Chains A and B, each alone.
Chain A
Amino acid sequence: MAIKARAGWLKLDSFSSCKVILFLILISIHLCELNAWSPSAMHTNNWAILVCTSRFWFNYRHMANTLSLYRTVKRLGIPDDRIILMLADDMACNARNKYPAQVFNNENHRLNLYGDNVEVDYRGYEVTVENFLRVLTGRHETAVPRSKRLLSDEGSHILLYMTGHGGDEFLKFQDSEELQSHDLADAVKQMKQKRRFKELLIMVDTCQAATLFSQLHSPGVLAIGSSMKGENSYSHHLDSDVGVSVVDRFTFYTLAFFERLNMYNNASLSSLFNSYNPSLLMSTAYYRTDLYKRPLDKVPVTDFFGSVMETIHTDSAYRGFSVKGTDKAEIKAPLNLKASQAERRALSAYHQDQISDFNKEVCSFHCIWSTLHKTVVEKIEDADTFVNYGLVVIIPLVAASTWLWR
């Protein structure tokens, strides 16, 4: 939108009017700010980063956890190119594995998690704190392929799942490094500033997972961990055929929750969070919501674990999406998504309120147009219209100013 305004300014440049320039600059600044300030960005895409931070045969369960989550989010609709999977990946082909090239998360061995299409993005010794932070913040070296990057934008909902061995405010990476809670908070803050996400759900299954969230303070972040400070997270059961524990309790019950769902389900985040039973978990699941504004019982889990299901019809390739557009656009979604649509409408109304609120504060210099402006702003429903109106207003202004100079 800012670009459009600048284009308008270029058109008008031939008139070479100082005031016009001044005014236009003001307007463009106004629009830019409008754009930056308001979370006008719509939830448009979903990403998932799944990290298994441990290696070695006896940590089989961590890889099984991660692969299970991978399977779940894929099943719920996040495409493979939007999943960054970081795995030591030394289980399936481990010589100790009784079932070569297979990984199970249950002793019944019904489901092979290591099927045909597991795309591991960061494998083996690539799973480092450095690479993890690079993925989050998007500061890659130029040679890193797009498939290994988190190409999210301000409309992205990101699920960040981590499992491994942790402690008080840290998470071990493959027995050689640690990710500290500061590092995580710092990375998230950078992401926020770079507008790499709209909402972020961090889910951690380690011992003392809650401590990893203590430094977070970026808005839009929701965090859930398997255990409180001082608690351990335990494995769920041992597969005595393979000879190792195959899944952790927290992840097991998370998966159990999701197994009941399909991608059109409306189960809310709060129902997920309430499904954790401390006595079954043998630890207390902790969630941090103070940075997250939306009520949890209104947010479907598919907002993070699934993918945006709307197909947005646009008139031309150029126009892109807009708040109005989504409302007007023809939505090809199944019927049972209606509730969330309604909610989204409410959301866009909320955005508009914010816009008008903002505009009330503008106009100390151009008092003459203030009333006009107000009415215009109140009437407008999207930025494009606003720009159009602006251009129309400018024409008499320019005419008047040229006339005055003569």
Chain B
Amino acid sequence: MKPRMMAGSSGDTKNPKIKPRPIVRIGIFLISHSIVVSLLCFAAGIVALILLPLFAKNTYISENALMPGSANSMLSSQDVKEANKLVKDIIGLKLSSEEARIEIPRLIAQHMADAGSEVYYHKFHPQMSQFYPLHFFSGSPNSGNIKENHSCVSHAINTVGIIRAPRGDGKEAIVLVTPYNSEKVELGEALSLALAYSIFSLLTRVTWLAKDVIWLAADARYGEYASVTAWLRDYHIPQFSALEKLDADICFESGYPHEQNENQIRTDVISRAGTMAAGLVFKVVDKHKETDKDTLSIYAEASNGQMPNLDLINIVNYLAVHRQGLRVKVEKLYFLLDSVFLKIVGDVLETIGKVARSLNARWEFGIPVADYIDGAATLASSMYHQALGVPTGSHGAFRDYQVDAITLEISPKVSLNNEVRILEFLLRGGRLIEGTIRSVNNLLEKFHQSFFLYFLTSPSKFVSVGVYMIAFGLLVVPLPIIAASLYCDANVLDSHCIKEQQKSGPASTNEAGIAFQSWRWLHAAKVVLVIHLWGAIVSLLPYLMYQFPEMTPTTSMLSWGLLSIASLLFLHQILGSPYSCVTVNQSPNREWAVLKSMMIAAAGIGLGLMSIINFATAQIGALLIVPMCLMVHPLKHVYRAGRLRTLAVTACNISLGFIGFPPAAFLFLKAYSEGLGSVSAGDFWNWVESLWAWNSATYLYLGLIHLPCWLLFMYVLLHPC
């Protein structure tokens, strides 16, 4: 590029003797070396991201009060035998789905009541997935106002039991959730119900409870998340209006299981315990996949990248590994395990670590290749799930009420077909959950001691916010520098032009020209603003399309695309084309630079804002946006440079333009991870639909920041200079 004259532009003011302050000089230095600095920063950001698995720390239990595993488990084989009876009862029901829907809650409620707890049924309607443009971040939309004509059959019934802590103050509670499909109960679901029952019946007898225990047997025929979120909403939002009660009572007779002892089991009231200290969702999955140990998978991600407090994961992990001897897993992106790139990086890191240790025995930063690859795959999964903003299980519903919750998925090492094996499995799982409850029971305050912002690289290793922020910071730093440098360049060039004009002839409109100079960014700003407005319109369009509910995903996708293009053209009709040069006075070959600097500024602000809302989204977004911002160059302009360089820049730009387009990027990733055959245009629509169904801020990010940025990128790329 051309030599920069930044020092001159700000330095040669009227008084050259006064040195600018150091911070100004640093700024000038950075701007005048913007290419080198931004390249360095970007490379460092990528390297920092790749090195994250290396910086993972071992988890530790930060809250003293928890004391996991300090008490012996009290769950006996007798409890487990009782629970096994429940399994047999449920499996042996052999009912039609219609009867089972009523009979299973009745069975569970009977068991809860016999154990000596408070029981009630919670009836709820399924919720349609709807697009509410103004309901982002507001949690679940209140469905009370838009009740549709549900038939009584469409009710689902949660069964809830509450144990009041005998000597507790009743102000806090621990929630156990066992989702089951009432229409077709499988062995795994029956086992998880039995598991909960064994613990529940034990907890009615113990003397050490300080928090109430709630067991929610969630009817998951409309999805486990729906049932949990419906119950949580009714638990937290008391309904006082008589109308709603009336509505609820219409189906009273048919909707609830009939009971002999009606006075014990209530149907009309939601009884409550205290505020929830923690929620544990547990499921048994009979995978028939043989492993050497029983496996526990932990799912923690809630909506918009919120995580439960790390201490909750820590205690479960500690108890599972050190007390019950389970194998603990967290999700990972399995296709990354075979990645050649990760293997090479891992090898390099291991070698560097060995060399460092041979130089100085105290330098221990190398990790084995296998660990690195595993950590990277887990980290990528953790980052992906947080960035997506979609909860990985029904625990996500708790996070909307600031309750820490996780899903525990326990799967046996061999198929559970003989009774001894089932008993052993139930005992082990039950002791794990009992230990967790006892530990949480010891808690004095909300979980607050450990981390809320972290990525997991294994069940016992994590990267905290203080570390992974660095990578993002390094990625984003080039944006303001480049934007400033581009803008200054354009100005300097123009002032040169004007000076030359002055030399050639006395310009009458000199003053006006200079005044115009300083306002020339307005045009570029207008373009950026219009594009962002367009982004907002595009992200609101699905609301319009929901008015025609009969469309298939593919047609929806197509019409969305067409409507977007139409709205873009319409906006340009009204507000003017982006390429309309305003005056002859302006040097046209610099116009794209100002546009680019505006685009970079907008992208930087957008990324910064997004990093506050969902850090992982911003981090992954920065990986795409930042190279787009740095690389973009008008294709016409490039041809004036050397041949090789032209080729490289063009290739880079075109591939970035392809990857940067969200649908293209999504389909590309899907094809990469699942194979080409499974890809169709409707997939993107479905994916986006899931985003707004979960109120994910990632959708807003895509619509308001990423898409406009991509369009501006295309504008600059195709700029007619």
Contacts and interface: CB of A to CB of B under 8 A. Distances in A.
A58 B72 contact: no
B72 A95 contact: no
A325 to B, nearest CB: 55
A95 B71 contact: no
Contact of B210 (A94, A240, A241, A244): A94
B72 A244 contact: no
Contacts of B206: 98
B67 interface: yes
B444 interface: yes
Interface in A229-244: 238, 240-244
Contacts of A93: 167
Contacts of A99: 207
Contacts of B207: 97-100
Interface in A322-350: none
A4 interface: no
B365 interface: no
B168 interface: yes
A15 interface: no
B149 interface: no
Given A95-B167, A95-B208, A240 B70 contact: yes
Interface in A190-230: none
Contacts of B64: 58
A241 B64 CA distance: 18
B47 interface: no
A96 B70 contact: no
Contacts of A95: 165-169, 208-210
B442 interface: yes
A23 interface: no
A58 B442 contact: yes
A287 interface: no
A238 B210 contact: no
Nearest to B435: A243
Count chain B CB atoms within 10 A of each CB in A57, A95, A242, A245 and give the residue with the most.
A95
A302 B716 CA distance: 92
A37 interface: no
Nearest to B208: A98
Interface residues of B, number: 20
Q: How large is the interface on A (under 10, 10 to 19, 20 to 34, 35 or more residues)?
A: 10 to 19
Interface string B52-85: 0000000000001101001110000000000000
A91 to B, nearest CB: 12
A56 B67 contact: no
A241 B165 contact: no
A240 B209 CA distance: 16
Interface in A40-74: 56-58
Contact of B208 (A96, A240, A245): A96
B65 A58 contact: yes
B449 to A, nearest CB: 12
Given A57-B65, A98-B207, A243 B442 contact: yes
B168 A241 contact: no
Contact of B70 (A56, A94, A97, A243): A243
Given A243-B67, A243-B208, A96 B441 contact: yes
A242 B167 contact: no
Count chain B CB atoms within 10 A of each CB in A58, A240, A241, A244 and give the residue with the most.
A58
Contacts of A245: 70
B532 interface: no
B122 interface: no
Interface in A77-108: 93-100
A244 B206 CA distance: 16
Interface of A: 56-58, 93-100, 238, 240-245
30 contacts: A56-B444, A57-B65, A57-B442, A57-B444, A58-B64, A58-B65, A58-B67, A95-B168, A95-B169, A95-B208, A95-B210, A96-B209, A96-B210, A96-B441, A96-B442, A97-B207, A98-B206, A98-B207, A99-B207, A100-B167, A238-B70, A240-B72, A241-B72, A242-B71, A243-B67, A243-B70, A243-B438, A243-B442, A244-B67, A244-B70
Given A98-B208, A243-B438, 7 more contacts: A95-B167, A95-B208, A95-B209, A95-B210, A96-B208, A238-B70, A240-B72
The 7 A-B residue pairs with the shortest CB-CB distance, nearest first, are A243-B71, A95-B210, A95-B167, A240-B72, A95-B168, A98-B208, A58-B65
